[in-house]
Each structure stands twice: as C-alpha cells, then as structure tokens.
Amino acid sequence: MPLELEKNYSPTETEPRIYQLWEKSGFFNPDNLPDAKTRKPFTVIMPPPNANGDLHAGHALTLTLEDIMIRFKRMQGYKTLWVPGADHAGFETQVVYEKKLEKEGRSRFGMDRKQLYDEILAFTLENKKNMEQQVKLLGASCDWSREKFTLDKDVVEQTQQTFKKMFADGLIYRGPGMVNWCTKHQTSLSDVETEDVERDDTLYYLTYGPLTVATVRPETIFGDVAVAVNPEDVRYKEYIGKTITVTTPIGQMELMVVGDELVDKEFGTGALKITPAHDANDFALAKRHGLPTTPLPVIDQYGKMTEKAGKYAGLKIAVAREQVVKDLEDTGLIVKKEAYRHSVPTCYKCGTTIEPRILDQWFVRMQPLATLALQANRQGKVKFVSEHFEKIFTYWMEHTIDWNISRQIVWGIPIPAKICEKCGHGLPDSEDFIKTCFRCGGNVKADTDTFDTWFSSGQWPYLVLGYPNSSDFKTYYPTDVMETGRDLIFKWIPRMIIFGLYRTHAEPFKTVYMHGMVNDAKGRKMSKSVGNVISPITLTEKFGTDALRMGLVIGNTPGMDMSLAEDKIKGYKNFANKLWNIARFILAQENIGKIDPELKKEFDELAKDITLDMENYRFYLAAEKIYHYIWHRLADELIEEGKSKEEMMATLYYLLENSLKLLHPFMPFVTEEIYGKLPPPAGGRDKQLLMVEKWPA
Ligand SMILES: [Zn+2]
C-alpha cells in the first residue's frame, strides 16, 4: 500500500525518538546482535571525553568518525563493540575547578585535601551526566552498559598494580630528577604539558674570573656549580680541570671548569655557567661530570629567591634579575648585553614560565618501553592510517626521555607508595611493614601525589575491557582502531602502545586513525578568548545531528585540519529534506514493475566502490559519493524518468532502500526513520532496524 509521509522532515522531533528506539533494541551491546555467537569482533574504544564541560567540535568529529566505523562494521556482520567512557582528566579538571573556586573567592591552597577531592568528584559526576547526554545527541551507537569512568575501582586498582609491577621490573624509579614546575599551579608537569613560546630576552655577558660567560638568567648565578666549555675550544683548553674564582654581588665562589662536548662553541662566548638546580641541560651535564646534582636551589617553589641568594632572598624572579643585573653593572661585571630571542617552555594551561626544579618524584624509564613500541610498529602490529603520524610517532619513540608521573594535585589516582620525609626515598606501599626509611632511618609516610592522568589513560584500552580475566578482554582485545585527534600523537597514542605491550604483551589496537583539528569557518583555531568557539550541540539543535555529521566528514581527509562552516551544515540539512522528499514521492507510488538489471548493476558498482573507501578509511569520499548519487542520479534523473514510467517503481524502491543502507553510517537518524516506513522485504522476512541490516556490497 502506498504511504503518505509527513510533508516536512523534522530532525528535532525524529532524532531523540530514533535514538531511544536503538537503545531499546539492545543492539548497541554486541551480545544482543542477531547471530552474535558467530560474528567476528570489531572493537573501538572511545577516547573518554573529559567530564568537566561541554563537548566541543573535536569531540563531535571523533564521535562521528567512530560511529561511522562501528555502524559500517555492524552492518557488515561484525560483532561490534564501541565502549564509551568518561575521563576524570586529572590536572585539566582541577584547573577548571580552580577557576570556579577563584570566581567564588576561594582557593584550593589551604583547603582540606579530602574536601577538595570530594568537591571535584561531585562536580565531575554532574558534568559526566551532561557529557553522556551530549554523546547520545550526536548519535553514538556505543554500548552504554559497558561504560567506564577513569576512576572506577577496578581501573584504579589495575593502574596502581601497573605501577608496582613497573617498579619491581626496574621501569619506575624515584628521582631526584629534573621536572617542569608551574609556580602558579604548584605542580610538576610532563614535557607534553608544556608549550614553547618565543620570547625576547637579554643575553648578558658576565665576567667570571678570567672567563666571560653568557646567560639569560643572571639571577641564578648563586646556584652555579661549574663553568663548562667545549674540550676542542682552544680559547679555554688551559682552564679545563682548574678552579676559578668568580665575584658575585653576594661574595665570591670557587667554580671548577669542565670540558663537555655538548657545549656549543658558537653560543655566547662558548663558556657556560652550570646551574644544575634550575636547568635541565645543566642538570644532565652535572650528572655526566660527577658534579653536585642536588645543590640547594636559589629559587623556591613559588618562584621566589631563596636564602641561598643572600640579600635577594624573597624577591620574585623578575625583580631579582633586575637587581642582580644592576648590582653587576655597578661593579663593572657585565661586559655586554645583547637582544636574544629564544623559545621558553610555559604551562600549557596558564602560560606561566616553567621553572625547572630538581625534585624527588617518580619517573618511568622510557627507553626500554619505547624499544618495545618501535618493534611492534616495525612488525606491522600497529599501523597508522597516515604515514605522517607514523613518522612523528617513530621520531618521538626514538628520542624519548624519562617521564615524570608524579603530580602534586589531589584530583587523580593516588600513587600507592611510601616516601621518606627526610631523604625523599620512596617504595611502593605493598611494603606495609616499612615504618622507617632503610636508607636514612627517617619516618616514612604515604605519598600524597597522584598519577599524571596519562599514566592511567595510557592503560585505557585494556582497563576498559576488564583486563586481565574478563571474557570481554579475551574477546575484544587487541582492539581494532584507535581514532583520536592529532594533538594526542604524543600525549596518548605512544603511551597506550607501550603500556599495552608491557602489560598485556599485545598491541592495544591494530590501526591508528588520527583526525585533524576542527577550526572555525575562517580556518582559525577555536578559542574562548577569541570568541569563535562553535558548539556542536548548538549546530545539532539548529540543523540536526545528521547534517552536522555530514558537515564534519565530507571534505575532511585523515589528519588534515578542517574548517567548520554553518553554511555547509545547512546544506546537509537541505540534503536530509531532499532525501525525505525522495522517499515521500517513492512511497506514495505502488511498488510495481521489475528491478531494472542495468540500474541495479550501476548501483552495485557504486556500493562496491563505497565499500572499498570505507574499508580504507576514506569516509569523506564514501559520504560524498552516496550524497552525489542520491541527489544527482536518483532524484534528478531516475525519479524524473519514473514520474512518467510506472514500471520503474520497483527499481526506485530498490535503489532507495539500498541507498539508505549506504548512507546510514553517515546520517543514521533520517535513514532509520525512512527505512522504518518502507514495506517489509520480499520473501516474508521480518523487517528489522536499519542499523542491523546487511550492508549492500
Ligand atoms: Zn600553570
């Protein structure tokens, strides 16, 4: 019987209703799929969105791409599992919460630790609900029954277990080591949590006894332990191994001159002051030459001068620099000044200049782990969709440095360790009987630091699946694809690979798909301060999720940044209407005649072509091809022809039904809605939801 469809298609009315229909069907859970037992698994772990705010355009892209993969594979007959999650996001969330506290005239400093933790937990759980709602709005067909939070009990336990195992295996050690310190946030940060900025400074040439050294940080001279020169430098050869007397505004110091091949003869005078307490390179050099590596610092954790700086004690760094320079000038110890442009690491959240500090903290010995990861990549166990990212990955792994995993914040997974109050020595807290430090006899107490959030996120793929004993882990691990933004090529991807290989002896995923950044319509990075942030939720409300998804995918090649323009999305809203009108016309006619073999052949070829694109992650091409076919072939040509040829209707019914299948992964809502109106298939088979129909190629 012909059917009369509503005149207009309304995404706002349809989308939530269809999502409920899918949820009720149970098919997001692979165990409920038809013939689940005989299907092969296909698994994607969703990068857990931070539970501290609204989803942004990057999340929308991630969810769209992953949902496309999952829907395609589900229709192809795989046992598809897509696991959603929520990230407590350690430092990130604490920073968000601190801003909230600031607005309320409060501060986390001086707050009771437990009180602060409980407040952030309540805040996060509240936001988590909001985030989940938004993930649903975007049409994600993920299995909510398996959702994981990064602070779930088993996740915490296994994360701590990994720490203990790595310690036992010699892959984790307790500092002292050089860390990046944010004086505002009062925590150390890993290298990927710092952002280099170009800065114009002054390079000062200082008289150092018989030598002249060049430095941008004259306020740190009180922390010097040596002067270093290149052993090949004829100007300085005679000084190597000798001690020189250096005059400073607070007295004289005796410094040894050392020869080190890494000193650049061309920089400044070729002679460098060595301040291990405040410079990572100097710290490394001091280690190489057996110089003191833990001298008393001249700058404290708040960025103020210490007692060691004599009369400058208590001054902030910038003020101290000014005064030290003035005093040196007054005594004629500054030989010359030079404008100097260099790159300076800053806190990626607040922009404060990073102060390198030597602290007793936990470090991961990266090199042996990186070797595992490089090997897995060489053996083809982990493939990258874009060669470009594979190169970056390889480079990073080949040049990796030890990773500081201690954070001085409460919002995170506690490091299960005891540390000595006196000497800073530490041991995993399985050693419960230890009450005093066996190195110095000092009292030991529980470590109050928490893990760098990437220490637990790095273990996400197997933690989510209930490693080590669950049947999910046995069925769905290693997972198939890890899809994420290109900004996570350092932060996340390498860590997941090393943890996976280390703990499960298998790669966590077989393929890495990285997408580019989503910029505004003019191609500018979205930023709150510029005020050009486009909310995917607003776009969904305005144009429908289907339209947003098409706008995010078409024209978007893997790894390349894209511009998000409202006009483009509006265009796909028109396309949803067009499709509705096509269906409206076809369904109003009797399904008569025979399927035209030529037109069927033409369609089958298109389907094959699109399938090939889908399998090779060319979603932008697949989407464009089906869009083009529906609009320009089916609507503009075949339906026009069909208007005067009744016997074409069976063909049009066939083409509509199968076009809906090809379009479903991209525009799941409107296709499911129309599919539900189609007559049941021939042969008496029950009609099922489009989401579990068979892919037509
Ligand atoms: Zn900071």
- Ligand 1 mean position, distance from CA 53 (Å): 19
- Ligand 1 mean position, distance from CA 354 (Å): 8
**Whether residue 468 has a cis bond before it, omega within 30° of 0:** yes
Report the predicted TM-score, pTM, of the whole model to 2 decimal places.
0.91
- Ligand 1 mean position, distance from CA 96 (Å): 12
- Ligand 1 mean position, distance from CA 427 (Å): 28
| 40-162+454-515 carries CATH number 3.40.50.620 | yes
CATH architecture of 541-692: Orthogonal Bundle (1.10)
Q: What is the pLDDT of residue 440?
A: 84
Written as six digits, the tokens of 318 are 């910038």
- Ligand 1 mean position, distance from CA 401 (Å): 22
In the predicted model, residues of the chain with pLDDT beneath 70 are 1, 430-433, 684
The DSSP letter of residue 237 is G
- Ligand 1 mean position, distance from CA 145 (Å): 37
- Ligand 1 mean position, distance from CA 190 (Å): 12
Contact (Cβ atoms closer than 8 angstroms) between residue 128 and residue 86: yes
φ, ψ for residue 336, nearest 5 deg: -160, 165
- Ligand 1 mean position, distance from CA 448 (Å): 19
Q: What is the pLDDT of residue 597?
A: 97
- Ligand 1 mean position, distance from CA 594 (Å): 70
- Ligand 1 mean position, distance from CA 389 (Å): 28
- Buried residues in 29-51 as b, exposed as e (16+ CB within 10 A): bbeebeeeeebebbbbbbbbbbb
- Ligand 1 mean position, distance from CA 178 (Å): 17
- Ligand 1 mean position, distance from CA 186 (Å): 8
- Ligand 1 mean position, distance from CA 280 (Å): 19
- Ligand 1 mean position, distance from CA 584 (Å): 57
Q: What is the pLDDT of residue 265?
A: 94
Q: What is the pLDDT of residue 2?
A: 72
- Ligand 1 mean position, distance from CA 107 (Å): 14
Residue type, 625: K
Q: Regarding the domain delimited by 188-355, which CATH topology (the fold level of the hierarchy) does it fall under?
A: Isoleucyl-tRNA Synthetase; domain 2 (3.90.740)
Q: Distance between CA atoms of 154 and 144, rounded to whole angstroms? A: 18
Q: Considering only CA atoms, which of 250, 241, 239 is closest in space to residue 209?
A: 239
Q: What is the pLDDT of residue 426?
A: 85
Q: What is the pLDDT of residue 1?
A: 64
- Ligand 1 mean position, distance from CA 445 (Å): 27
- Ligand 1 mean position, distance from CA 93 (Å): 13
Q: Is 144 left (phi over 0), alpha (psi -120 to 50) or beta?
A: alpha
- Ligand 1 mean position, distance from CA 194 (Å): 9
- Ligand 1 mean position, distance from CA 184 (Å): 5
- Ligand 1 mean position, distance from CA 470 (Å): 40
- Ligand 1 mean position, distance from CA 408 (Å): 12
- Ligand 1 mean position, distance from CA 348 (Å): 7
Burial of 390: CB neighbours in 10 Å, binned 0-12, 13-18, 19+: middle
Q: Distance between CA atoms of 673 and 541, rounded to whole angstroms? A: 18
